[in-house]
């Protein structure tokens, strides 16, 4: 099990329940500490406002000695406009810039987005033993094609929604890749099981269906009411004769 520490980097405009992350139950990682860095340094780029380079993050986020990975969460735009960067071998930064609006529009909890990235980092750390930085290399398991998979590249940020709404959280290619790796016992099984817990909430899946299929939704509601009415009538008659007899 990997130990994760979280650092809030600057003020978060969008409400993120960091304590919910701290209480998250997982067999693959535990979140030990949640800290905050209020002061944000200047980006060093005169034409960029609220922009963080890897050097900015490295200089201000110190790795917690009692954890395997320190994850900084910020609203600032990151280098290359990525939403996540592996800054060095034990520090990762996750940005809600742009992607936060996308997730909220599609009713996907921001905490699930952060957890999705933690699962990705933890898996990569097991594959490599040493976390490769974003500048060094792109891990082999990450692919350009959007498949609704944990390891989609998401060059277009709106593609992130397919991970939370698709049928599978790992594509067959990535599952086959992980099977060949020397991972802890039951790691892959636990990973697939836990990823199911960070899908889009059922209420909003129903909401999306109604919005996309209004006619079918009306038909389903009418049929449901007729069936419920019929069953209620049969039950009432049964109870009436039961009590009468």
d(C-alpha 183, C-alpha 45), whole Å: 42
* Model confidence pLDDT, tens digit, residues 168-182: 889 999 999 999 998
d(C-alpha 91, C-alpha 28), whole Å: 18
What mean pLDDT comes out for the span 228-241? 75
* Model confidence pLDDT, tens digit, residues 63-87: 888 889 999 999 999 999 999 999 9
Residue 50 has what pLDDT? 73
Residue 74 has what pLDDT? 93
Residue 204 has what pLDDT? 47
* Model confidence pLDDT, tens digit, residues 3-57: 999 999 888 888 888 888 989 999 999 998 788 887 766 655 545 667 888 888 8
SS3 assignment, position 33: strand
Question: Both tokens of residue 156?
Answer: 């277009």
* Model confidence pLDDT, tens digit, residues 104-124: 998 899 999 999 999 999 999
d(C-alpha 169, C-alpha 149), whole Å: 5
89 pLDDT tier (thresholds 50, 70, 90): confident
Would you give the end-to-end CA distance of the chain in angstroms?
64
Residue 244 has what pLDDT? 67
What mean pLDDT comes out for the span 233-242? 73
Q: Where are the beta strands (DSSP E) in 103-169?
A: none
Query: Which has the higher per-residue pLDDT, 101 or 44?
Result: 101
Greatest mean pLDDT among 161-175, 210-224, 227-241 lies in: 161-175
Which of 89, 118, 86, 112 is CA-nearest to residue 99? 112
Residue 203 has what pLDDT? 46
Residue 210 has what pLDDT? 53
Beta-carbon contacts of 215 under 8 Å, excluding residues fewer than 6 positions away, are none
pTM attached to this predicted model: 0.81
Q: Where are the beta strands (DSSP E) in 158-200?
A: none
- Angle, CA of 107, 35 and 131, to the nearest 5°: 80
What mean pLDDT comes out for the span 150-160? 93
Residue 48 has what pLDDT? 60
Residue 209 has what pLDDT? 46
* Model confidence pLDDT, tens digit, residues 203-222: 445 545 455 656 765 676 66
Residue 193 has what pLDDT? 93
Query: Are 69 and 121 contacting, i.e. CB atoms less than 8 angstroms apart?
Result: yes
């Amino acid at each position: 099990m990997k130990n994760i520490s979280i650092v809030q980097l600057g003020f978060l405009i969008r409400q993120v329940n960091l304590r919910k992350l701290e209480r998250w139950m997982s067999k693959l990682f535990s979140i030990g500490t949640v800290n905050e860095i209020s002061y944000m340094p200047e980006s060093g780029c005169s034409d960029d406002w609220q922009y963080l380079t890897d050097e900015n993050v490295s200089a201000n986020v110190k790795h917690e000695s009692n954890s395997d990975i320190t994850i900084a969460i910020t609203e600032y735009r990151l280098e290359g406009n990525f939403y996540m960067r592996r800054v060095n071998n034990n520090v990762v930064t996750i940005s809600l810039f742009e992607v936060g609006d996308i997730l909220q529009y599609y009713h996907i909890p921001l905490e699930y987005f952060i957890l999705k990235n933690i699962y990705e980092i933890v898996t990569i750390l097991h594959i490599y033993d040493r976390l490769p930085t974003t500048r060094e290399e792109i891990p082999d398991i990450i692919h350009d094609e959007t498949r609704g998979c944990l390891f989609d590249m998401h060059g277009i940020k709106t593609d992130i929604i397919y991970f939370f709404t698709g049928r599978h959280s790992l594509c067959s290619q990535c599952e086959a890749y992980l099977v060949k790796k020397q991972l802890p016992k039951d790691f892959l099984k636990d990973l697939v099981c836990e990823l199911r817990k960070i899908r889009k909430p059922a209420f909003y899946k129903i909401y999306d269906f109604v919005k996309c299929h209004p006619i079918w939704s009306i038909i389903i509601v009418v049929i449901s009411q007729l069936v419920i009415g019929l069953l209620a009538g049969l039950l009432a008659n049964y109870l009436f004769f039961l009590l009468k007899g």
